[in-house]
Amino acid sequence: MLPLRIGLCGLGTVGRGTLEVLRRNAGMLAQRCGRELEVVQIGARSARPEADLGAIPFTHDIFAIAANPAVDVLVELIGGVEPARELVLTAIANGKQVVTANKALIAGCGDELFAAARARGVTLAYEAAVAGGIPIIKALREGLAANRIRWLAGIINGTSNFILSEMRDKGREFADVLVEAQLLGYAEADPTLDVEGIDAAHKLVILAALAFGMPLRLDAVHIEGITRIQPEDVRYAGDLGYRIKHLGIARRNDRGIELRVHPALVPERSLVAQVHGALNAVMVRGDAVGGTLYCGPGAGAEPTASAVIADILDIARRLNGGGRDAMHPLGFDLAEDGALPVLAIDDAETAHYLRVSALDRPGVLSQLAQILSARGISIEAIIQKEPVPGQDHVPLILLTNRTREREVRAAIAAIEQLESVAGPVVHLRKEALDEV
């Protein structure tokens, strides 16, 4: 059989990793898919990189790869929405199979791109777009296909998890750790995408589309990043038996679908709390299988290359067998759940962590308790630290029961009006991640 001819666009962290693994494991990969994988052209818009490209032709014109008749599969690793969108559309129009690691592209333009791929009868594969090396797309599309998914939740931004882990374990400063995450190749070219939760939102909408058979609703995700997490909240959460993790959550309830990314307290003994550094972990609960957990490196050169190459192998096997792609990503009609509305954050139900800076005087605690109980919110745990000499206010930390967000926001507004309370209330959500 003739080799499968690959055109590689982008030679950043993931591009170089992909080239390295394709070379190192060439013989084994050929055996696994029944033909050789040959990189026939490489393109990058910036100056010719340091990487040793051997005899492989290089171009600055990535569109030349989409037009090259000798390319069977275009691998898009340039990142960002434009010109990646145009590149992928051109490749599809020219009948090429496409593999991408680009979550911003799939989350923002996936509906258009999948429609184009379907119309042209080619595959657009994107395993590497979510959770790096963890085969979570395959797990949802294939391994869990028998299940009605109740919810999925997880750590899907390695940079944020790395920063929170280092802050907690080593007391390091946010800004320092972010620089290290950039050096290690975990962070996006624009790291605000990581720390403001946008990268996690991109990944969450892709997972939710697969889990619930719904459209890609990036516009409907409630997005919070980790920038407002203070070291004292990491400590207080620890005192109460919790860790703060940045989570993406897609949950179906009887009113609709919650789509949210934000930091949350998770029990210290939960599996997700043990996931440190740039690791990712995704929990998926299906009606037949129950709870499942997928964990592994969520960022970095070779873990992401592992997912890119898995997609190339799938394409090679499919082309060997001929015929249309029976497992087209997102190429299904909207499922029953997919027609449900996406809920506003006010309608989300979680437990809550509140840190209130209150005057140390009689009656303050009972005022807080009254405000909460008037809205049906119950206090599950409370810590008050002793006053520090010279300071009027003391921190009061409360954990509530599971409550509709709307009620908690109203209670916070009322608490902030109290004369005995100083400054805004710090509010974080708490997730047990164990209910069915």
Of residues 71-90, those binding ligand HSE (CB under 6 A): none
Total residues interacting with ligand HSE, rule: CB under 6 A? 11
Among 101, 283, 291, CA closest to 202: 101
Shortest Å, Cβ 111 to ligand HSE? 21
Which of residues 275 and 371 has its CB atom nearest to ligand HSE in the complex? Answer: 275
Please identify which residue in 126, 186, 212, 236 interacts with ligand HSE, judged by CB under 6 A: 186
Q: CA-to-CA distance for 405 and 38, rounded, in angstroms? A: 53
Beta-bridged to residue 42, according to DSSP, are 8, 58
CB of 350 closer than 8 Å to CB of 407: no
In single-letter form, the type of residue at position 3 comes to P
Which H or E element spans position 105?
Answer: helix 103-120
In single-letter form, the type of residue at position 417 comes to Q
Shortest Å, Cβ 190 to ligand HSE? 10
Residue 41's SS3 state is strand
Shortest Å, Cβ 13 to ligand HSE? 9
Which of residues 7 and 225 has its CB atom nearest to ligand HSE in the complex? Answer: 225
Instruction: Pick left, alpha or beta for residue 426 (phi over 0 → left; psi -120 to 50 → alpha; otherwise beta).
Output: beta
Shortest Å, Cβ 181 to ligand HSE? 7
Question: x-or-dash pattern for ligand HSE, window 101-140, by CB under 6 A?
Answer: -------------------------------x--------
Shortest Å, Cβ 151 to ligand HSE? 21
Place of tokens 């390695």: 158
Q: CA-to-CA distance for 291 and 70, rounded, in angstroms? A: 45
Which H or E element spans position 55?
Answer: none
Which of residues 43 and 303 has its CB atom nearest to ligand HSE in the complex? Answer: 303
Which of residues 195 and 397 has its CB atom nearest to ligand HSE in the complex? Answer: 195
Which of residues 190 and 434 has its CB atom nearest to ligand HSE in the complex? Answer: 190
Question: Does 10 contact ligand HSE by CB under 6 A?
Answer: no
Which of residues 12 and 57 has its CB atom nearest to ligand HSE in the complex? Answer: 12
Residue 244's SS3 state is strand
46, exposed or middle or buried, with CB in 10 Å at 0-12, 13-18, 19+? exposed
Of residues 187-216, those binding ligand HSE (CB under 6 A): 187-188, 194, 199
User: Which stretch, 145-153, 180-188, 362-370, 386-394, contacts ligand HSE (CB under 6 A)?
Assistant: 180-188
CA neighbours within 13 Å on the CB side: how many for 401? 8
Please identify which residue in 10, 79, 133, 298 interacts with ligand HSE, judged by CB under 6 A: 298
Q: CA-to-CA distance for 276 and 292, rounded, in angstroms? A: 19
Which of residues 307 and 397 has its CB atom nearest to ligand HSE in the complex? Answer: 307
Of residues 137-166, those binding ligand HSE (CB under 6 A): 157-159
Shortest Å, Cβ 246 to ligand HSE? 10
User: Strands across the sheet with 73-76, in order?
Assistant: 58-59, 37-43, 4-9, 73-76, 97-100, 124-125
**CA angle 132-18-66, nearest 5°?**
105
The maximal CA–CA distance of the chain, rounded, in angstroms, is 83
Helices (DSSP H) in 196-334: which residue ranges?
Answer: 198-212, 231-239, 301-321
Question: Does 294 contact ligand HSE by CB under 6 A?
Answer: no
Which of residues 14 and 354 has its CB atom nearest to ligand HSE in the complex? Answer: 14
Shortest Å, Cβ 160 to ligand HSE? 7
User: Which stretch, 182-190, 353-361, 362-370, 405-413, contacts ligand HSE (CB under 6 A)?
Assistant: 182-190
Among 172, 147, 148, CA closest to 162: 172
Helix 26-33 × helix 13-24 angle, to 10°: 80
Q: Among all residues, which ones are annotated catalytic?
A: 203
User: Which stretch, 50-58, 184-192, 319-327, 415-423, contacts ligand HSE (CB under 6 A)?
Assistant: 184-192
Shortest Å, Cβ 210 to ligand HSE? 17
Which residues make up the interface to ligand HSE (CB under 6 A)?
132, 157-159, 186-188, 194, 199, 298-299
